[in-house]
Structure 1
Amino acid sequence: MAEFMGVQIYKNGLDLAILIFARIIASVSVLNLLIATTRIQDALAALRWFRVPAIFVDLTGMMIRYVHLLSREGVRMYRAQQTRSGFSNRLSYVTKMHNLGMLGGALLLRAFSRGERVYLAMLSRGYRADSRIVSGFRPISLKETLLGSFIILSSFLLVILDRMMGGI
């Protein structure tokens, strides 16, 4: 047991914190690898193959499509506010936070209005709740089946090994 700034730290708690941190880093690393190597359409088709409800797959596809658009628009609005001295060093921290809040509110309003326009455009083109934004499936090859089985088996073995070594 040790004490840090009035907080008692136990060895078991520290071990648990390190284990959770390592698992989070590993999960984020695998997610980054998936994002870097898989096309968005393939990931959405895989979600459909795993029988994820169609509304979730459609929403995910639309969110991914518009995240970049909203990000660019947010950067453009930030730069516009910055050129008008909205974040000048002469301003107080509270004023800068107020300006940032105004920027976020304006971005949300633009996102809502853009969402309404996109929805109306989709309705005018015949979109319905049962429409399929993501196209059909392709059969899974033997190589993909073996790779998936290897990954699942390795994951189970790592979990079993983690349990045997005293983890959670």
Structure 2
Amino acid sequence: MTAMLSHPPVRIVTALLMIMLSVSMKHTETLFIMLLFTLLLVLYCKVPFRQLRRRLRLALPFIVFSFVFFSLYEQGDVMRLAGVTLSVDGLHKALTYSLRLVVTLHVLTLLFHRLSSSEFFQALVKLKVPGIFVELILFTLRFMDVIRTEALHMLQALKSRGFRTGRFFSLSQYAVLSKLLGSLLLRSLQRSERIYMGMMSRSYRGIPPQRHTAPLLRSDVAIAFLWLVPVVAAFIYDIR
């Protein structure tokens, strides 16, 4: 029996519960246990390491910033390292936040492994998430590339007319880019109105379509307990 949840609604609820319990833990030893457990779960579910590495690479700047910021500006006991005065409480706080972040990334990697966007949004509909939120997320994801392409075309048109972005600070460049941003927002508004009118003419009423999903199996319930029981046990141990 595989350890991966195959029922999307149960997987979403289980992952959210794991994240909520994990970020509520305060002790570093408990968070290290959670880090090891979620990492073993990722490996046992045969999640490709490149997916986890890609998410961890995005989180690395936030981890580095937390260690630099809290260690330098947090009050309390201090220590000296290579001639720099560091806050012990700040390092502990940065370590706690970093562990919570990495554990959350592990759980999110499990959540979206082999889960298509259509299955994810259908699971949100099954979980009775308000349709307006589902539609907002869908349209945002669908038209991000469109807006990005439109912005690149507008910037290319500016460069063909002599606009250059070589200098770091230039009021004239910032003025031109602000006008480009305003024009992009107006174009996005006009396009959204055209799309909305076209959808209304095709009987759209703001309710996401519901499709048939696979039934909930006993194995999914067992796997959900397999995911949750260690997390709940660690949470109870952490609050004692």
Pairwise TM-score range, normalised by the shorter structure:
0.7 to 0.9
Shift of 1:160: 4.3
Deviations for 1:57-90, whole angstroms, at most 9, x for unmatched residues? 1222222211222122222222332333323436
The CA distance in 2 between the partners of 1:55 and 1:123, in whole Å, is: 15
The CA distance in 2 between the partners of 1:67 and 1:132, in whole Å, is: 20
Superposed, 1:53-64 pairs within 5 Å as 53-64=130-141
Q: Tell me the equivalent position of 1:15.
A: 92
CA RMSD, 1 decimal: 2.9
The CA distance in 2 between the partners of 1:67 and 1:90, in whole Å, is: 28
Q: Tell me the equivalent position of 1:82.
A: 159
Q: Tell me the equivalent position of 2:215.
A: 139
Shift of 1:162: 5.2
Matched, 1:156 2:232: yes
Shift of 1:136: 3.7
User: In 1, are the aligned partners of 2:125 and 2:208 still within 8 Å (CA)?
Assistant: no
The CA distance in 2 between the partners of 1:163 and 1:140, in whole Å, is: 33
What count of residue pairs does the alignment treat as equivalent? 160
Q: Tell me the equivalent position of 2:116.
A: 39
Unaligned runs of at least 5 residues, structure 1: none
- TM-score after normalising by structure 2: 0.55
Unaligned runs of at least 5 residues, structure 2: 1-76
Question: Structure 1 35/72 Cα, relative in aligned 2: closer, same or farther at 3 Å?
Answer: farther
Shift of 1:161: 5.4
The CA distance in 1 between the partners of 2:173 and 2:110, in whole Å, is: 37
Tell me the SS of whatever aligns to 2:166. Answer: coil
The CA distance in 1 between the partners of 2:213 and 2:130, in whole Å, is: 15
Tell me the SS of whatever aligns to 1:37. Answer: coil
User: In 2, are the aligned partners of 1:45 and 1:135 still within 8 Å (CA)?
Assistant: yes
Q: Percent identity?
A: 26
User: In 2, are the aligned partners of 1:74 and 1:107 still within 8 Å (CA)?
Assistant: yes
The CA distance in 2 between the partners of 1:79 and 1:58, in whole Å, is: 32
Considering Cα pairs closer than 8 Å and 6+ residues apart, tell me whether 1 or 2 has the greater RCO. Answer: 2
- TM-score after normalising by structure 1: 0.74
